[in-house]
Structure 1
Amino acid sequence: MDKKKSIEALQFFVTGLTEGAFVHKVQGHIFKSQGFTKLGDKYLGHYTEEMGWVEKFIERIIDLGGEVKVEAMEARELVNDPVDYIKEDLTIQEAGVELLYKCVATLNEDPTTYDIMKGYLADEEEDLYWSQEQLELIEKIGKQNWLNNQL
């Protein structure tokens, strides 16, 4: 087993997911402040769920004898329009799921890390499908009707 490869992969996702989770938290607060309580709660829940994965990744890095790093986050623009945000988030999710598939495929020599990352991949696919469903629903019922459902 190549511990270094596993630690590097886990650290990459600790950094990226922490950033993404924080953005979800802030966006959730923005949506709630706009009156879109259901949507705000959805993204605040994403934050909590994603930070749970970060904790699992950190614990695994430590188990492998690695040092966890706190790395700088990239600056990200916040989006006030909920539909625009879902579209932007979907683009990020699509790239992330593709990257996760590639990453998981390289971890088969470390079954524990493989299983953790495979679980995370399944969770991210679920989030991706939710975003796709929301955009399809918006197309069918219209933006205003969809926004009314988010109150």
Structure 2
Amino acid sequence: MKGKKRVLEQLQQLLAGELAARDQYFIHSRMYDDWGLHRLYERIHHEMEDETGHADSLIKRILFLEGVPDLSEQEKLHVGKTVPEMLQNDLDVEYQVVTALKKAIAICEEERDFQTREILEVMLDDTEEDHAYWLEKQLGLIKRVGLKNYLQSQMGDDGGS
């Protein structure tokens, strides 16, 4: 099924964002693991897997619409040096993804590509209600309990590794 050019362009832009989010979560998760923050590692590793799933959905949709996914293009990474900076950088990425998804959903509506719109709406719910919400909560916890207490709460059990 030949997709509309505007929809394919939006899907490609979204893919570039998801690839960057995946890679940013990847490096941040490994930094958390290295620092012994095992709970943060587990959650951010899970987020990396979610972003990989989003990228996979976009790739499949681009292919279905007879486009060619370009995995060589991705947004710039913003790797933090401290836990609060890392969480904020990840939240900023999620906000950018939300904005891009809303724009792409509107274009799908204009182009009457309701199936692509539906796929993107699921991604939007996941991004707003899970990823961004969780990151906002973590930054709020740091403000309420202090960074030292927060970091201690994130050490957890390393599962024997």
Q: Cα RMSD (Å) of the superposition?
A: 1.7
Is 1:71–2:72 an aligned residue pair?
yes
> Aligned in 2, Cα 1:44/1:142: closer, same or farther, shift over 3 Å?
same
CA displacement at 1:22 relative to structure 2: 1.1
Match of 1:136 in 2: 140
Q: Is the 8 A contact 1:87 1:135 kept in 2?
A: yes
Letter of the structure 2 residue corresponding to residue 53 of structure 1: H
- SS of the residue corresponding to residue 108 of structure 2 reads coil
Match of 1:96 in 2: 97
Letter of the structure 2 residue corresponding to residue 118 of structure 1: E
Q: Once structures 1 and 2 are overlaid, which stretch shifts more, 119-128 or 93-102? A: 93-102
Instruction: State the alpha-carbon separation in 1 of the partners of residues 3 and 141 from structure 2.
Output: 44
Match of 1:5 in 2: 6
Match 2:117 to one of 97, 114, 118: 114
Match of 1:86 in 2: 87
Number of aligned pairs?
A: 151
Instruction: State the alpha-carbon separation in 2 of the partners of residues 62 and 74 from structure 1.
Output: 21
Instruction: State the alpha-carbon separation in 1 of the partners of residues 58 and 46 from structure 2.
Output: 19
Instruction: State the alpha-carbon separation in 2 of the partners of residues 91 and 74 from structure 1.
Output: 12
* Structure 1 unaligned blocks of 5 or more: none
- SS of the residue corresponding to residue 107 of structure 1 reads helix
- SS of the residue corresponding to residue 106 of structure 1 reads helix
Match of 1:124 in 2: 127
Instruction: State the alpha-carbon separation in 1 of the partners of residues 37 and 134 from structure 2.
Output: 17
Letter of the structure 1 residue corresponding to residue 39 of structure 2: K
> Aligned in 2, Cα 1:95/1:14: closer, same or farther, shift over 3 Å?
closer
Match of 1:34 in 2: 35
Matches within 5 A, 1:25-64: 25-64=26-65
Instruction: State the alpha-carbon separation in 2 of the partners of residues 50 and 92 from structure 1.
Output: 11
Q: Is the 8 A contact 2:18 2:51 kept in 1?
A: yes
CA displacement at 1:61 relative to structure 2: 0.8
> Aligned in 2, Cα 1:72/1:10: closer, same or farther, shift over 3 Å?
closer
> Aligned in 2, Cα 1:25/1:67: closer, same or farther, shift over 3 Å?
same
Letter of the structure 1 residue corresponding to residue 133 of structure 2: Y
